[in-house]
Structure 1
Amino acid sequence: MVTQRALSTVHVRAPGKINVFLKVGAVMDDGYHDVATAYQAVSLYEEVHASLSDDFSVSFAGSIDSSGLEVDGSNLAIRAARMLARKAGYRGGVHLEIEKNVPIAGGMGGGSADAAATLVACDALWGTELGREELLSLAARLGADVPFALTGGTAIGTGRGDQLSPALAKGTFQWVLVLADFGSSTPDVYRELDRHRDRHAQDIFPAQTQPTVDANVLQALRSGDAQVLAEALSNDLQAPALHLNPSLAGILELGEENGALAGIVSGSGPTVAFLAESVDAALDLQIALSAARLRVVRVTGPVHGARVVSD
């Protein structure tokens, strides 16, 4: 259903994410893995401006080099807009101007944030009024991280990561992110994980088919205590990401030498996230890592998901 439109442009902001916990199940017959993850949305945002158009198009700006991104129908944001239009029976189009601040192929779900923001923006722009559950259903068809970019906050993801349940998180956590000047292929990292498990099959327990999030992670999030959460950070993809990109190991060491409670590769990397004890500690860490000529961003979490912004 399409109702009377009152807007000619819509601005939506959607966050990047950190996986504070990620357990990967055994490879299945279709080559995919089920996961159990704890997501936290952080204050590094993608900004999507949607305006009425006769067709579907996208352009990019922002602090991230987007020159290599596709701008045709294969782009995830364009796919999101087209999917929503088909679902609602809308016959027009949209032009999307996306300000990218979340690293591309960085393990923080930047493309997923673009898709989630596009769903919210087009729903408002076109007056389709599909509602939260319908948008979440479309988001899950677009990619595993898209539903979380829509909801934000802190959540547990199972299945491919798209089956979400909210997680209680008390207070605000201080993060310092090191953004790499290169991207990482998620399929390559998963394949390296499978090879790692094969190589060490005699030394490690077999992976679960249906992994779960450890109870101590949920307790750490509920406590709001950064030191407790630091002890619970875990990512099965970190070892293969380090194997493929050995320079990340030095970054992790440098952060912990300069006061981070703990560091973790976010998702499949190469972004490295450091948890700090306080705002002052995060500032000190940001300065130290910047002095090492690393690209550093200080963020907080959790934050809300994709939401219309009043300009």
Structure 2
Amino acid sequence: MAAIDEGVTVRVPAKVNLSLAVGPLDEDGYHGLATVFHAVDLTDDIHVRPSKQWECTITGPYADKVPTDGANLAMQVAHRLAQECYEAGPVSMTIDKSIPVAGGMAGGSADAAAAIIAIDQLFDLQLTKLDHLDLARDLGSDVPFALTGGTALGSGRGDELAPVLATGRYEWVFALQHEGLSTPAVYAEFDRLNKRRKPRRLEAPEEILTALRTGDPYELAGAMFNDLQEAAISLMPRLQDTIDVGLSQGALGAIVSGSGPTVAFLCADRAAALDLMVGLTACKVADDVVSASGPHPGARVVPNNRLT
């Protein structure tokens, strides 16, 4: 089937780690992980259409922080599928970027997941879900979850997923910093801080899973944890001030998302989230403050007439 001339748009969510347990380095130089991923409706839109040459355009509030060359994971997907599938070819790609860059919310991984779906649809490659996941695992540990969305338990390097039963909706406020944190730098700091500590056992966090089953945000807030949080704060000490202010302004709980520096605040309801946004903004402890709710579906095709 010929490519769709008007192009294909895929919307993909950001993630927050409700828990993140980090194990010791394995022989390949990677840390084992046990994490609970949670997708939220802070999203990027990736639009692709057939082109005679490769093009990449970035729009949105984080456009100046996203590469348009071979370092862009979404473009890597497009090039790889063009090499592996004779039906695929050059594309013009536009990424409307609302997920923070280098913020611990898997923005680059989300775009890669969206590109897998978009290129498959654009050129009618008829790839299976297993094909999508295999490619996603090759690209990075957060990419498979961006495909599935919702709430899931991640193990291995975070790319082995199992769905988690979650009820209700959860309201979040995210305190963003313009300065990003390098994920390798945060892991290196984690190793430095924990070199004499006994490694954590990597297992399903029962308190988190129970809270999600009951749909109780108060219970969930008390169970959240992130083994990388201490390292992120060590590299960016002002994150502790952000956490302290958010908790004093009524947040139920606070956690650094992934490797940071975004701080995620869980709120009792939508009204509480709006109040917290006002308080964080007034206290000037973040460069940007946004709200979102979850869980949210993973990468999905969006009809071009519904892009609002």
Regarding TM over 0.5, the answer is yes
Q: Which residue of 2 aligns with 1:9?
A: 7
C-alpha displacement of 1:100: 0.7
Q: Does 1:221 align with 2:212?
A: yes
Kindly provide the amino acid, as one letter, of the partner of residue 45 in structure 2: E
C-alpha displacement of 1:308: 0.6
Q: Which residue of 2 aligns with 1:236?
A: 227
Find 1:143's aligned residue among 120, 140, 148: 140
Aligned residues: 302
Find 1:42's aligned residue among 40, 49, 52: 40
Find 1:301's aligned residue among 291, 294, 299: 294
Instruction: Give me the TM-score of the superposition, normalised by structure 2.
Output: 0.95
C-alpha displacement of 1:51: 0.9
Do the aligned partners of 2:4 and 2:49 also contact (CA within 8 Å) in 1?
no
Taking the aligned partners of 1:16 and 1:56, their CA distance within structure 2 comes to: 26
Q: Which residue of 1 aligns with 2:270?
A: 279
Find 2:185's aligned residue among 178, 185, 188: 188
Do the aligned partners of 2:18 and 2:37 also contact (CA within 8 Å) in 1?
yes
The answer for unaligned runs of 5 or more in structure 2 is none
Q: Which residue of 2 aligns with 1:261?
A: 252
Q: Which residue of 2 aligns with 1:118?
A: 115
Do the aligned partners of 1:50 and 1:97 also contact (CA within 8 Å) in 2?
yes
Q: What is the 5 A alignment of 1:21-100?
A: 21-64=19-62, 66-100=63-97
Taking the aligned partners of 1:10 and 1:110, their CA distance within structure 2 comes to: 19
Taking the aligned partners of 2:7 and 2:270, their CA distance within structure 1 comes to: 36
Taking the aligned partners of 2:261 and 2:55, their CA distance within structure 1 comes to: 29
Instruction: Give me the TM-score of the superposition, normalised by structure 1.
Output: 0.94
* SS of residue matched to 1:50: strand
C-alpha displacement of 1:256: 0.2
The answer for unaligned runs of 5 or more in structure 1 is none
Q: Does 1:176 align with 2:170?
A: no
Do the aligned partners of 2:3 and 2:50 also contact (CA within 8 Å) in 1?
no
C-alpha displacement of 1:141: 0.7
Do the aligned partners of 1:23 and 1:213 also contact (CA within 8 Å) in 2?
no
Taking the aligned partners of 2:167 and 2:100, their CA distance within structure 1 comes to: 27
Compared CA separation, residues 52 and 4, structure 1 to 2 (3 A): closer
1:187-213 CA deviation, whole Å, 9 max, x = no partner? 011011111012xx2xx43334xx122
Kindly provide the amino acid, as one letter, of the partner of residue 94 in structure 2: E
Kindly provide the amino acid, as one letter, of the partner of residue 86 in structure 1: Q
Q: Does 1:212 align with 2:212?
A: no
